[in-house]
Structures are given as structure tokens and as C-alpha cells.
Chain A
Amino acid sequence: MDAVVDTKAVAGWQHELYDLLRKHGITQFAYVPDAGHAILIDRSLADPEVHSIALTTEEEGVALIAGADLGGARAVLLMQSSGVGNCINMLSLIKGARFPFLTLVSMRGDFGEGNPWQFPMGQATQPVLAAMGVICLRIERPEDVIPTTSAALTMAFKGGQSVAVLLSQQLIGAKPF
């Protein structure tokens, strides 16, 4: 994935993160394949108790979360920051109907990025989410992953808010190319 970050440490918090999401009753994991979420995706595929749903575009996941909530289930959307741009109008549904909404966003176009194509959406991710009423919680250190995601789960599923947890490139490592 990258040359900067210790991949064993990354794997450690990713497994804890999956267990935390399951402990909070998430049963639908929706995603567009992404290296930053690889362990969460693989764990959901291997878990017979959950639905692991590969999307063709991230906005499908926004609608899926709303449908899951209508049926009394909890879903999470795993995406890269570029996918946030694909979700914007669909977030009208979340904001207007006050659906609880949780997304984990692996950042690109951020700290240490080397691919110029990633910067426009990466740098716009937080303001664009904020404009659609999504609260952003940013994580830069591995020790903050579980406490911050726990806070996000409470805000979404008890507080009824829409929340994005931004996994920064300090945390997941930058692609230097």
C-alpha cells in the first residue's frame, strides 16, 4: 500500500475498527473497492453475519444506508475521498429525512500525496461534506481510530446525525506516486 507506514500497525487498527463496527450492530458494509479499506472489506466478505455490498459508485451506498434504516438495520459506507464527490446530491436524502449516516473516508490528495489528480477532490472533501450537513471527524494517529469512530457511531446512531470519519494520509500512508 505504501512505503511510509508500518503495515502491521495499520492492520491492527483496521481489525479493531471492524470489531467496533460489528459491536455497534452494523450489518451492511457498502464500498467501492479501495486499498485504504481493504481489511474492513475482506473482514465483511468473510463474515456470514453481515451483507458485504460492492457498489459501482459511492452514491449507491448513500441510498442503501437510507433503505437499511427504513428496515431498522445499520449500514456503513466505506469510500475514498474521490468518492465523496459522487455522493453530493444523494446526501439530500440523508439531510432532508434525517437518516443516521456513517461513512469512513480514506483520504487522498492530502498529506504527502504525489498524484496531482487526487488534490482537487481531496482538498474539497471536508468543505463539500460540511455543505451537505455531514459532520467530519478527522483521524491522524492510530491511537485515535477507535475513540473517534466510537464517537462517530454514537453521534450517528444515537444522535441521528450524519458523520464522516476522515482517515488521513498521516494515518493510512501517502501514495508517493
Chain B
Amino acid sequence: MPSPRTSALAAAAAPGFVLERSEAVPALIGRHEDFLFISGLGGVARDVGAVTGDGAHVYSLGGAMGAACMMGLGLALARPDKRVLVVTGDGELLMNIGALATIAVTNPPNLAILCVDNGHYGETGWQKSHTSLGVDLEKMAIGAGIRRTRTVATEADIADGARLLREGNATSFVNLRVKPTEPAEFKRNFDLALCRDRFRAALQR
């Protein structure tokens, strides 16, 4: 009998992509108020919206694919007093994978990157991404020089991954492997200028 929490697959999962994003993403984030969020576009923006209520401490992309990690770097350098969590997907990360090298060289300790890797481009019809075909994003992060990295692929890995995102004296990177299932049902705000204003206003309070 499948668990009632098991969601329907939107595409065939590659071996090792077994976790439920609806459980693993909130578990890795934990208390969301502890972070400023930059979210990539597509499914992760909906996941982050569902966890945070799309609050003023969140800036989610709806385009400009490939921007998330570098926005996180600019924000982390601007606000060393805050912890910045970039939540992105495998497709968005791959589009500007060189950003990992730029971030590793700068290495702000208050920046963490969580990649929700489902091995697919869910927004465009569930085509396989490179990570279903052998590309290992944690190894790419290690190769870029990021010192603190993990792959979270089973429930047993989650506590350690969550700790890595919250602690430490160097930028951290967690690749979360999940099944290719629909992301959270959440309608986040797509007005990018309004979201900029609310983010800045909340930080200045």
C-alpha cells in the first residue's frame, strides 16, 4: 500500500530521486523567519511561497532564469547580519552554474543554497534535465570550490542538511533530490517591482 502522503509522479524518476518535495523542503528550511529568501522561478517559488506565506522576507523569480544564486550573493554581502537562503531548482541552477564558482571565491558565511533537484524541467512539460542523465550538482559545487556541501537523498540525510543551511563559517550548498511531482499549490505574487519594494521596506524597519 502506498503511503497516503505519496504524490503522483509527473514523470519517471531517475534512480535515487525518491524524497517527497512537499515534506523535504519544509523540513530543510525549518523556521522560515530565520532567513531572507531568494527563490528561483517555477516549482521552487511555489514551494517557498507555501512555506513562508510569500512574506516580505522572500523575493521569488518569475523569469530572469539563472539569477537566484547571484541575487543571493549580492544580498548576503549587503546584509552580513542576516542569513540568506537561496532556494533554486536544477534547471535554474544549471543555467548559470558558473555562479557557484563566483560564490565560492567570495564565500560569504551567511549564504546558503538549497537546490531542489527533481531531474526535470517541470514548468515546460517535465522534460528530463541533465541531472536525470548523470550530472551531479553537489560534485559541481565541490568542483567550484564550495567547502560545505551535501546531497540529501533520503530521510536520514535531512537533519544534517538542515543544520548545514543554518550554521557554519562558509557558504553552504545542499542538493535535495526529490521525485518529479507537482510542487505546492500556491499562488505567489508576480509583481516584481512591488515585491522589491516590500522586501526593502521590511528590511529597513
Q: Is B140 an interface residue (CB 8 A)?
A: no
CA distance A62 to B61 in the complex (A): 14
Query: Can you list, as one digit per residue, whether each of B26-64 has a CB less than 8 Å from chain A (1) or not (0)?
Result: 000000000010100000000000000000000101011
Residues of A within 8 A of B203 (CB): 70-72
Q: A55-B102, A67-B73, A90-B66 are in contact. Are A98 and B193 (CB under 8 A)?
A: yes
A60 and B102 within 8 A (CB): yes
Known A55-B102, A59-B96: A70·B59 in contact at CB below 8 Å? yes
Task: State whether B78 touches A28 (Cβ < 8 A).
Answer: yes
Least CB distance, A145 to chain B, in whole angstroms: 26
Smallest CB-CB separation from A51: which chain B residue?
A: B77
Would you call B102 and A70 a contact (CB within 8 A)?
no
CA separation between A159 and B51, bound complex, in Å? 35
- A101 in the interface, Cβ–Cβ < 8 Å? no
Please name all residues of chain B whose beta carbon is closer than 8 Å to the beta carbon of A54 when the two chains form the complex. 102, 105
Q: Is the CB of A69 within 8 A of B196?
A: yes
A125 to B71 alpha-carbon distance, docked (Å): 24
Q: Do residues B96 and A73 form an inter-chain contact, with CB atoms below 8 A?
A: no
User: Number of residue pairs across A and B with beta carbons under 8 Å?
Assistant: 117
Closest-CB distance, A61 to chain B (whole angstroms):
8
Is there an interface contact between B63 and A28, defined as CB atoms closer than 8 Å?
no
- Interface of chain B, helix or strand or loop or mixed? helix
Is B89 an interface position by the 8 A CB rule? no
* CB under 8 Å from chain A, chain B span 10-37: 36
* With known contacts A67-B78, A68-B77, A90-B67, A98–B196 Cβ distance under 8 A: yes
The residues of A that contact B63 with a CB separation of less than 8 Å are 89, 92-93, 96
Chain A residues, Cβ within 8 Å of B71: 63-64, 66-67, 70
Residues of A within 8 A of B (CB): 27-28, 51, 53-57, 59-73, 75, 89-90, 92-93, 96-99
Chain B residues near A (Cβ < 8 Å):
36, 38, 59, 61, 63-79, 82, 96, 98-99, 101-102, 105-106, 192-193, 195-196, 199-200, 203-204
The 9 closest A-B pairs by CB, nearest first: A71-B78, A67-B74, A56-B98, A73-B78, A67-B71, A63-B70, A63-B67, A68-B74, A93-B64
Q: List 26 A-B contacts (CB under 8 A).
A: A28-B78, A51-B77, A53-B106, A56-B101, A57-B96, A60-B99, A61-B70, A63-B66, A63-B67, A63-B69, A63-B71, A63-B74, A64-B70, A67-B71, A68-B74, A68-B77, A69-B196, A70-B59, A70-B71, A70-B74, A70-B78, A71-B75, A71-B76, A71-B77, A73-B74, A93-B61
Q: A28-B78, A92-B63, A93-B63 given; name 18 further pairs at CB < 8 Å.
A: A27-B77, A54-B102, A56-B99, A57-B98, A60-B99, A63-B74, A65-B74, A67-B74, A68-B74, A70-B36, A71-B77, A71-B78, A71-B203, A73-B74, A90-B64, A93-B61, A97-B193, A98-B193
